[in-house]
Amino acid sequence: MARPGSGGGGPAGRRHYARPMTKWEYATVPLLVHATKQILDTWGEDGWELVQVVPGPNNPEQLVAYLKREKP
């Protein structure tokens, strides 16, 4: 009998199986200052999670939201 941690399938003989890797899809969304909450709530209802908000590439005053959700 293998001792715990001595190789017999992992600690205390447990086997570890790899889970399938989660796959994500991403979206970038321009945010309007006067409607930020409404925009994010709408995307959130569709399963999108906010990852980050950054200034826009051409206009730092325009914010862009990066969102992700698990692929079906």
pLDDT (tens digit, 9 = 90+) per residue, 4-18? Answer: 555 555 566 778 788
User: Among all chains, which residue has been given the structure tokens 């293998």?
Assistant: 2
Quick count: other Cβ atoms within 10 Å of Cβ 27? 13
As a whole number of angstroms, the distance between CA 30 and CA 16 comes to 43
Give the pLDDT confidence score for residue 10 in this predicted structure. 54
From residue 44, alpha-carbon distances to 12, 21, 37 in Å are 42, 23, 10
Give the pLDDT confidence score for residue 19 in this predicted structure. 86
What predicted TM-score, i.e. pTM, was given to this entire model? Answer: 0.70
As a whole number of angstroms, the distance between CA 7 and CA 16 comes to 12
DSSP annotation of 67? E
Give the pLDDT confidence score for residue 46 in this predicted structure. 97
pLDDT, tens only, 26-55: 999 999 999 999 999 999 999 999 999 999
